[in-house]
Structure formats: C-alpha cells, structure tokens
C-alpha cells in the first residue's frame, strides 16, 4: 500500500466484492459523473476487467449532450452491460413538490420501476458522505423498504466490515462503496488512474460544472480550472459546497432529506 | 516506504451521554477550524432562529428534521475536518440509550475517541457504558472533554472532581486517558484556542491534543491473515480474492487454508489492468492471487502462512455487548460472522454478566438488552479464529439473529485447546485407509462423488424433484442414487421411530451413509425434511467439502394445499404429533448452495436448476474439488 488513495481504493474494492458475493441480483447506477465513473473503474479492478453486473443509467432525457456521447463511447470501450432506463414524465410526479425536487424525483420513480421490473436486491451507488449531510449518515449496506423508502431512524448496526446483506423479501439494498471518499480524493484518483471524464467538469468561458446533473436543475460554477490539476488546486482552497449548483438541495431546509427518504439516491 | 504506513485520515469518534454536548462540540470545532462550507453558518443561524433557539452548533451534523426538532442525535454521522497538521474524520455517535447500536456502529470505525462529559451533571451511567464499549471494541486512545464549564462557573474544583471520577473509572477498565481537559464547546473555549475563562488550566487545547494522537499503524508485523472473499474463474485462472487483514505475503509463499488444512503456494498476485503484478502484498490491500495447485478453496476460508496459523476450534469464549431486542439465553442458536465466514453457533454457557456501571459481575440465566456478558459459544463446524489480544481483526465477531446483528464481541481462547492437530490427524486417518484415491474414482466415473442434500417442508417436492433429477443424471451417464424415506426406513433405520431422539439418529445415519456413497464416487441425492440446522451441519461434517445443500422451498400454505399423502390434514386433526411445519419447527437453511422455489417455479424449471447446479459444481468442477 503506497498511498492513502490505495487505502481508499482497497476499501471500495472490498465492498464491491462483498456486494457481489452476497447480493443477487445486483446492479449499478451510473450517472456518468466523476464519482460513478471512478466506482465503475474500481469495479473493473475488483473483477479483473469485466464488470459482472448490469450498469444502469436513469435517463430523464435532460442530460447535457456531452454526457450521452461520453456514455455511449465508454459503454462500448469497456464492454459494459449498459441498460438505459427512461424515467417517467414530469406529469406523473407529485405536483406538490417544489419544482427542482419534482424534476429530481423523476429519477426516484425511474429507479423504483427498474428495481420492480428486474427484481434487483442490491443497487450499487457512487454517493459520498462529504457531499451532503443526510448522506453523511448513511450505512455502506443501506436497506430500503419495499416502496423504496429509507428509515434513517432504524438503520442496521454495521460493525467493522460485517454488512447486513439479508432482509425481508421486497426490500432492497443500496450499497455505497464510495462513502469514505472526499471530492478531492476522487479527482486525485481520476488523475492517477487516468480515468476518462466528461469534459463539462473543465472550465470554459469562466464556468464549469462541479457536480453534474440534468441541465434543467444544475448550474455551472465560476471557475477557471480547465485541467484536473487545476480542479484539485481549486478544491484545496475552496469553501463553497460541492452541491451549490444543485437546485433541488436549496428549495427548503429539508428538501434533500425528503427526496432521499422517499428513495432518491 | 516505511514499514508502517499510516492511515490518512485519522478517525475520531465522539461519544458520551445524551445532552452532554457531543454534536455541539463537533459543530463548533468545524467552525473554528474553518471547515464549515460557505453559507453553513448563516443556514445554522436561520434554522436555529426558526426553532426559537440560540445558535445551535449541533445542527451542522444533526441534519434530519426529527433530530433538529428534538435536539437529539439519532444516526451516526461522519464528517471531514481538515487542520494545518492533518485530516480527520469525526464520527458523531448518538448518546441516547435507544441508539446504542448506532453509537457502536460509529465507534467501531474509529482509531481514537473523545469522551464528552457534562461538568454540571458529571459522569453518568451512559458515560461509563460508552467508555466500556470503547474498550470492548478495541479502542485504546481516549481523550476526555469535560464540557459545559460555562454552566459550572468555570470552577477548577468542579473540573477536578469530574476528572478524578472518570479517570478512576477508566483505569478500572484498563483504559488510560491521554488527556482530560475542561471545555465550553458552545463558546469554543479550549477547543482550538486556550480559554481566557479558565486560566487555571495550562494543558493543550482539544485540537492540539488531537494533533498529538499517533495514527494506528497497519498491522503488518502480525502473522498473515487473508480471509477468502470469493474465488473467481477468469479465462483459465482461478483467482482467490480477499483483503489482507494482517501481515504480508509474497509470490512463492506456502499458504495454509483453514479450517480445511490444505496448502498451496502463491503463484501470482493478479492485478488489473494486467501488468507484471507485484511480488508482495501487505495488510490493508484487497488482492487476488492464484495458487500452484488446484485445491478446494471457498468464501469463508482463512489463509495464513503454515507457521503462525489461526486457531481451529469448535468452542470459544467471548466478551460481548448484547443489543438484541430479546434476551440471550443458554441453548439459543445464532449465526456468528467473523472475517468472511458465517457459522451457526449455540450459546453453551453464560459465564458472567458485567455491570458496566459498578464494574462488578454476577451469574445470570440470561443477558438482557444492552448488557455486557462473558459467554462460551459452540459451533458444529470447525472455526478458524484468533484470540482478540493476538489479532484484533480475526478475534472479533458479530452475532446475527433472524436478519439483524444482535451482538458484537471479542474472543478469548484462554484455557481452550487449539484443535488443529486433531483436525489434521483425522484427515490423515481417512486418507490412508484406501489405496484408491478419490482422483482415480473420479477419473473412471467422469465426475466426483458428492452428497446433494435436499431439505424442505413436507410436500415441498423433494422426492418428486430427486427422482426426476436422478433419472436425467443417469441418462447423462453419471453414477447417481437417491436416498429417501422408503429405502431407508424399511431397512437400515427400521428400528427408529419418530421421537425427537430417533429423528436425530435417523438423519445422522443418513448423513454418514451418504458420505460413504460420495466417497465411493457416487452422486447421492437425499430427500428428507431434515428440519434442523444442527442435523444438516452434522451431515455436512461427515461429507466435508463434497456436501451441497439444496433448499427445496415452498411456503406452508402451498405445501398444505398439495398434501400429497394427506399428512397435513391428519396433523391438523391432531393425529400426528410433532409434524414439521404444523406442530414442529422447520429451520430454513442459512446459506444453502441452491434454493429452488417450487411454489413459483414449475417442476421442469426446478429440475433444470438442480441439474445445472450439479453439472457446474460437481461434474465440471472436478479438478478444483478438494483433495483429501
């Protein structure tokens, strides 16, 4: 083990292998962003090149064109079993939700459909604790009820590396191999491993996407960081939160908690 | 590289009684070290104002509405803190008794801990319990913050009284606090800056004390322990994967796999993208290796060097913290998880229950929720493990009841024998009696012998599926035979009835006979209800690695509707006593090799699943199977 990145990577690979050994059927969500890209790369390492489960994108049709181009290229180059799940239209989502939350909730609905149709018992996700306060309270193996909801009041004990992989029929697990990574670690790792990345993260005309989401509810930040090194340098000094450009986080004090309790990623 | 590589970042759990100010301390520390993101302070002021409170630092962590409304931490949170010296992960653990399993979840991830004690309220029962649990799960670096000194008038005598009390308790459980210091977390006094309010205190601030903690080194100096996570077949390679928990291994090293006692040398350390591959791997690394010999290895095995192997035993002593909702009782059966293995265990004895408040102990017939106890546990299988003092990672376990973790414990092997010699001896005796080897028999038959053990409720379809599978395997040229009630009860077991003791003996004989059939090279399918885990584990022990458990599953309502022999009807009428599913329990397999659900699958599909399993794991897998 040569650096702290090796330690972070080793923990994630351990979790990926635990998930694969204990949960079937298992699938992975790929948002095409920097975190799930890194996770996908680690899955290739964990399983020696071939990702042994389907890789799924919840598609609202609202991603930026660069994202779709990147997805199709990588899926072919890496030989992924890619499944694109169209999300239900906005009209089907609870109109009482604030606008951006409502748009984001399309993904929750798409994920529920996907799980119901394909019977997944475990879904791998690239979320991290340092992104957002409710994600900081997550377990690595985090159960969801049959309707997809998260009961944060009664999370299972998770001692050392013993994860709870058994649960009643109908429920499923969200598995989070990247919880212990920070934003800056993901970038250092992306650079070290030379992992391909959507170019929208790099500044153009003084703007870049720090957190990548759909075009209707995500906004670029002011930045001149046009390379990974410059992004790392920016993150070493910034005090702005990562998800500042995500509209749905800021509609109410508990907007994101409500989204996540209802089954959002 | 130095021999000991430090972990980055260092992980600090903050524990203590509810309302003694843990979340406030962390929130304030984040602020004073410049770790709150832009806009967070304004957000905290606004959320506090809306709830009619003065600025509430704990809201930085207590993000859930329920936590904010009741001003109590429920979930355990991990948050990053960066100082000029290094990076920390601060783990906030709830102090409420109801959330002890969350506290334990948080603390189990930590390298060190801060115990927060209220200067006014003093050391409480929960302060002591948290300290005790830190000690139990193996945390050795503890710092005590006597908080709310503002409410105690910044009085030195009050600080000293609380300090003396907690230090006395800690030394009683073998924990030495690195430092005990007075703080007023709400105002930031003594967190990052020396407080002017307490000039009588001359020690370092909390942050300075944290920066002095030495990070725990990776346990490279301990003997090698590599729990097997899985075995992958990739191209022509069989890659054994796992994470090295302690020690190191090199290409060429002879490895011993426990509990099976097989040995083989490391041929390669596999990496992706493919390259030359390292010659060495050390503790903390998730690796894949290939071996020079095709020995049978599976998830749950524990690899070590031939010297300094783990202990092998059927019994172990443990000190555990019980957080199950029911009581732990003698004779109760749970599953234990350690490293990557999962095994059924029975509580052999409750040796003493420890009062974490007064530190005395007493005998008791049960262990109640949130009690600490020393117990002796027994398994039908041979277990590979370490004494916790010798190797922490392989000396700790959790107990599972139903689906949930109910206890965490550490192992003591004091006074118990290592059974490795006996286990190896038995293996040799078995192997030398025959001049014909299993290989020779397998070569003639084209497959190895095996026991395919069906289990399931009456009416689940065991006999139907067994007979159809037998017919088709025979047609494909395999040596196969079914043992079922008809051919066993008529002859071999004619002397046995249906009393509990006779049923155990019935299954025991079948297990032993099936193992002999397998040894003779046959694939033998058994079709018995065999409702008890312990009986099936005995059968597994007789057949060793050639045992395959197939759960023929169907819910009770379906079985009862089928009722092919009219037995359910008679059982419901009270004509048959101890009828499995009606008046006697059926223990579902814990980790069956295959589950066939006949309630939802048609017979044809079920048979095909069974045949596929047998061909993949018994017939085509012959080269990888165990060498006795």
Q: ipTM, 2 decimals?
A: 0.93
User: For A1, how many CA atoms within 13 A lie in the half-sphere containing its CB?
Assistant: 30
Radius of gyration of chain A (CA): 18
CATH number of residue B94's parent domain: 3.40.50.300
Same domain, B617 and B545: yes
pLDDT at B622: 45
pLDDT of B244 reads 97
* Burial annotation A76-92 (CB, 10 A radius, 16+ → b, else e): eebebebeebebbebee
Q: Which residues pair with B316 in a beta bridge?
A: B377
Backbone angles phi, psi at B259, to 5 degrees: -85, 0
Domain for residue B100, yes or no? yes
Q: Give the DSSP H or E segment for B524.
A: strand B523-527
Both B463 and B552 in a single domain?
yes
Report the alpha-carbon distance of residue B301 to residue B336 in Å, rounded. 14
| pTM, to two decimals | 0.75
Between A and B, how many CB-CB pairs are < 8 A? 144
The minimum CA-CA distance between B459 and chain A, rounded to whole Å, is: 22
Stretches in chain A below the pLDDT threshold 50: none
Q: Which residues of A touch B47 (CB under 8 A)?
A: 253
Residue B507 DSSP SS3: helix
Q: How much is the pLDDT for B627?
A: 30
**A250 token code pair:** 């800021």
C-alpha to C-alpha distance for B575 and B472, rounded to whole angstroms: 37
Asked whether residue B452 is assigned to any structural domain, the reply reads yes
Over the stretch B71-101, which tens digit does the pLDDT of each residue have?
Answer: 677 778 888 888 888 889 999 888 777 788 8
Give the mean pLDDT of chain B: 88
Looking at the fold, whether B530 and B597 belong to one and the same domain comes out as yes
Closest CA to B391 of B220, B173, B254: B220
Q: How far apart are CA B245 and CA B225, in angstroms?
A: 6
Domain edge (last residue) among B255, B281, B305: B305
Sequence-separated (6 or more) residues with CB below 8 Å from residue B623: B294
| Domain-located, residue B219 | no
Bridge partner residues of A73 (DSSP): none
Residues of chain B with pLDDT > 90: what percent? 56
With residue B131 as reference, give the H or E element that holds it.
Answer: helix B125-136
Give residue A2's pLDDT. 62
Distance between CA B363 and CA B582 in Å, rounded? 37
A10 touches chain B (CB under 8 A): yes
Taking CA–CA distances from A160, the nearest residue in chain B reads: B108
pLDDT of the residue at B557: 92
Q: Please answer whether residues A184 and A130 qualify as being in contact, where contact means their C-beta atoms are separated by less than 8 angstroms.
A: no
**Confidence (pLDDT) at B359:** 87
- Measured in angstroms, the CA of B545 and the nearest CA of chain A are apart by 19
Which chain A residues are Cβ-neighbours of B393 within 8 angstroms?
Answer: 160
Which are the catalytic amino acids of B? 530
Give the chain A residue whose CA is nearest to the CA of B405: A157
Tell me how far apart the alpha carbons of residues B177 and B438 are, in angstroms, rounded to a whole number. 60
- Residue B519 in domain: yes
Facing B64 at nearest CB: one of A50, A168, A257: A257
3-class secondary-structure state, position A68: helix
Residue range B347-369: mean pLDDT, rounded:
91
CA-CA distance, B9 to B14, in Å (whole number)? 16
Residue B620's pLDDT band, with cuts at 50, 70 and 90, is low
Q: Is B64–A134 a contact, with Cβ atoms under 8 angstroms apart?
A: yes
Number of structural domains chain B divides into: 4
Looking at the domain assignment, is residue B426 inside a domain? no
Query: Residue A122 and residue B322: Cα distance in Å, rounded?
Result: 28
User: Which tokens belong to B563?
Assistant: 């009722």
Give the least confident one: A60-69, B175-184, B483-492, B545-554: B483-492
Q: How confident is the model at residue B434 (pLDDT cuts 50, 70, 90)?
A: low
Residue B401: count of CB within 10 angstroms of its CB: 16
Report the chain A residue with the minimal C-alpha distance to residue B111. A160
Same domain, B265 and B362: no
- Residue B501: pLDDT above 50? yes
Q: What pLDDT, on the 0 to 100 scale, is given for residue B428?
A: 41
Residue predicted with more confidence, B399 or A167 = B399
Nearest CB to B80; choose among A48, A130, A139: A130
B202 and B238 share one domain: no
B366-367 vs B361-362, strand pairing mode: unpaired
pLDDT of residue A137: 87
Sheet holding B87-92, edge to edge: B77-82, B87-92, B10-16, B112-118, B142-147, B177-182
Distance CA A167, CA B334 (A): 16
Q: Do residues B131 and B149 share a domain?
A: yes
Q: Are residues B409 and B260 in the same domain?
A: no
pLDDT tens sequence across B152-209: 999 999 999 999 999 999 999 988 888 999 999 999 999 999 999 999 998 899 999 9
Residues 6+ apart with CB under 8 A from B65: A253, A254, A257
CATH number at residue B291: 2.40.30.10
Of B77, B105, B232, the CB nearest to A158: B105
pLDDT at B466: 95
Burial of A122-161, coded b for 16+ CB within 10 Å and e otherwise, reads bbbbbbbbbbbbbbbbbbbbbbbeeebebebeebbbbbbb
Residue B330 lies in a domain: yes
With an 8 Å Cβ cutoff, is B101 touching chain A? yes
pLDDT of residue B623: 40
- By CB atoms closer than 10 A (0-12, 13-18, 19+), residue B257 is buried
Is residue B473 located within the same domain as residue B596? Answer: yes
Whether the CB of A222 is below 8 Å from some CB of chain B: the reply is: no
Residues B237-251 have a mean pLDDT of 96
B625, pLDDT greater than 60: no
What pLDDT is stored for residue B425 in this prediction? 52
Chain A: residue whose CA lies nearest to B102 = A157
Residue range(s) defining the domain that contains residue B338? 311-421
> What secondary structure, in 3-state letters, does B274-336 show?
CCCCCCEEECCCEEEEEECCCCCCCCCCEEEECCCCCEEEEEEEEEEEECCCCCEECCCEEEE
B327 found inside a domain: yes
Contact B558, B449 (CB under 8 A): no
How far apart are alpha carbons B290 and B293 in whole angstroms? 9
- Identify the CA nearest to B241 among candidates A9, A12, A162, A46: A46
The structure tokens listed for B214 are 């030495």
Last residue of a domain, one of B180, B212, B244: B212
* Better-scored residue on pLDDT, B513 or B43: B513
| B206 and B340 co-located in one domain | no
Contacts of B224 (CB under 8 A, 6+ apart): B244, B246, B247, B248, B249, B253, B255, B303, B304, B305, B308
Same domain, B359 and B487: no
DSSP letter assigned to residue A223: -
Q: Are residues B411 and B461 in the same domain?
A: no
Output the pLDDT for position B621: 55
Determine contact: B93 vs chain A, CB below 8 A. Answer: no
User: Is residue B78 helix, strand or coil?
Assistant: strand
Alpha helices in chain A (DSSP H): 4-22, 34-46, 65-77, 99-118, 183-193, 228-237, 255-261
User: What domains are defined for chain A?
Assistant: 4-181+251-261 (3.40.50.620)
Contact of B311 with B279, CB cutoff 8 Å: no
Same domain as B169, residue B250: no
Given B212, B240, B262, which residue is the final one in a domain? B212
- With b for 16 or more beta-carbon neighbours within 10 A and e for fewer, the B235-255 pattern comes to eeebbbbbbbbbbbbebeeeb
Q: Give the pLDDT confidence score for residue B433 in this predicted structure.
A: 54
B1 part of a folded domain = no
pLDDT bucket at B427, cuts 50 / 70 / 90: very low
Q: Are B521 and B441 in contact (CB under 8 A)?
A: yes
- Rounded distance between C-alpha atoms, residue B2 and residue B438, angstroms: 48
């Amino acid at each position: 083990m040569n650096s702290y990145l090796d330690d972070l990577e080793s923990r994630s690979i351990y979790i990926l292998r635990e998930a694969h050994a204990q949960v079937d059927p298992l699938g992975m969500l790929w948002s095409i962003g920097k975190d799930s890209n890194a996770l996908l790369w680690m899955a290739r390492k964990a399983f020696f090149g071939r990702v042994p489960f389907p890789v799924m994108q919840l598609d609202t049709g609202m991603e930026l064109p660069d994202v779709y181009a990147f997805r199709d290229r990588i899926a072919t180059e890496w030989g992924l079993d890619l499944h694109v799940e169209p999300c239900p239209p906005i009209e089907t989502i609870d109109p009482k939700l604030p606008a951006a939350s409502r748009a984001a909730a399309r993904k929750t609905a798409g994920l529920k459909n996907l799980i119901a149709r394909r019977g997944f018992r475990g879904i791998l996700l690239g979320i991290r604790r340092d992104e957002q306060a409710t994600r900081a309270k997550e377990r690595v193996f985090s159960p969801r009820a049959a309707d997809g909801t998260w009961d944060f009041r009664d999370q299972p004990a998770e001692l050392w590396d013993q994860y709870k992989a058994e649960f009643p029929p109908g429920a499923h697990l969200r598995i989070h191999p990247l919880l212990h990574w920070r934003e800056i670690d993901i970038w250092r790792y992306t650079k070290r491993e030379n992992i391909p990345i959507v170019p929208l993260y790099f500044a153009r005309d003084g703007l870049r996407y720090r957190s990548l989401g759909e075009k209707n509810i995500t906004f670029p930040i002011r930045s001149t960081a046009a390379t990974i090194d410059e992004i790392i340098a920016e993150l070493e000094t910034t005090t702005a939160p990562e998800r500042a450009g995500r509209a749905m986080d800021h509609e109410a004090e508990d907007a994101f908690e409500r989204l996540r309790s209802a089954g959002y990623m | 590289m130095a021999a000991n590589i430090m972990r980055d970042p260092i992980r600090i759990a903050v524990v203590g009684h509810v309302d003694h100010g843990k979340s406030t301390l962390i929130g304030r520390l984040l602020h004073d070290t410049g770790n709150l993101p832009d806009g967070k302070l304004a957000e905290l002021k606004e959320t506090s104002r809306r709830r009619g409170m003065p600025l509430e630092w704990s809201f930085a962590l207590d993000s859930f509405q329920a936590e904010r409304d009741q001003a109590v931490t429920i979930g355990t949170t991990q948050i990053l803190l960066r100082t000029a010296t290094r990076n920390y992960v601060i783990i906030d653990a709830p102090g409420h008794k109801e959330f002890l399993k969350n506290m334990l979840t948080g603390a189990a991830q930590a390298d060190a801990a801060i115990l927060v004690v209220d200067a006014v309220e003093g050391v409480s029962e929960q302060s002591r319990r948290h300290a005790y649990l830190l000690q139990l799960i193996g945390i050795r670096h503890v710092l005590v913050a006597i908080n709310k000194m503002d409410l105690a008038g910044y009085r030195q005598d009050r600080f000293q009284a609380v300090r003396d009390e907690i230090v006395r308790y800690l030394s009683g459980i073998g924990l030495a606090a690195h430092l005990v210091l007075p703080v007023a977390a709400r105002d930031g006094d003594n967190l990052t800056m020396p407080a002017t309010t307490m000039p009588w205190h001359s020690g370092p601030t909390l942050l300075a004390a944290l920066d002095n903690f030495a990070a725990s080194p990776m346990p490279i100096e301990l003997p090698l322990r590599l729990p097997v996570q899985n075995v992958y077949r990739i191209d022509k390679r069989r890659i054994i994967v796992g994470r090295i928990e302690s020690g190191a291994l090199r290409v060429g090293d002879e490895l011993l796999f426990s509990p099976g006692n097989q040995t083989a040398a490391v041929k390669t350390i596999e990496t992706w993208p493919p390259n030359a591959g390292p010659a060495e791997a050390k503790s903390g690394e998730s690796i894949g290796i290939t071996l020079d010999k095709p020995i049978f290895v599976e998830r749950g095995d524990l690899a070590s060097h031939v010297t300094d192997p783990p202990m092998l035993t059927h019994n172990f002593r443990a000190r555990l913290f019980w957080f199950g909702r029911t009581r732990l009782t003698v004779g109760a059966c749970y599953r234990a998880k350690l490293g990557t293995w999962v095994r059924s265990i029975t509580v052999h004895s409750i040796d003493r229950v420890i009062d974490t408040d007064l530190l005395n102990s007493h005998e008791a017939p049960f262990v109640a929720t949130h009690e600490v106890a020393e117990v002796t546990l027994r398994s039908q299988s041979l277990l590979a493990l370490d004494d916790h003092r010798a190797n922490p990672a392989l000396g700790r376990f959790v107990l599972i009841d139903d689906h949930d973790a109910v206890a965490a414990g550490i192992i003591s092997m004091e006074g118990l024998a290592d059974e490795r010699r006996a286990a190896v001896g038995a293996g040799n005796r078995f192997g030398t009696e025959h001049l014909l080897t299993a290989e020779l028999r397998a070569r003639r038959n084209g497959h190895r012998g095996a026991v395919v053990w069906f289990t399931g409720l009456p009416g689940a379809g065991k006999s139907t599926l067994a007979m159809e599978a037998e017919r088709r395997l025979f047609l494909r040229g395999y040596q196969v035979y079914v043992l079922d009630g008809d051919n066993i009860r008529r002859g071999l077991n004619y002397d046995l009835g249906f009393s509990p003791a006779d049923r155990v003996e019935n299954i025991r004989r079948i297990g032993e006979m099936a193992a002999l059939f397998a040894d003779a090279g046959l694939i033998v399918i058994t079709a018995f209800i065999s409702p008890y885990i312990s009986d099936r584990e005995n059968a597994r022990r007789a057949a060793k690695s050639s045992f395959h458990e197939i759960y023929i599953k169907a819910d009770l309502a379906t079985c009862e509707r089928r009722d092919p022999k009219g037995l359910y009807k008679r059982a419901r009428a009270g004509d048959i006593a101890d009828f499995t599913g009606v008046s006697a329990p059926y223990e579902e397999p814990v980790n069956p090799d295959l589950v066939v659900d006949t309630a939802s699958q048609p017979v044809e599909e079920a048979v095909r699943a069974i045949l596929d399993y047998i061909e993949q794991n018994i017939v085509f897998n012959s080269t990888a199977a165990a060498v006795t």
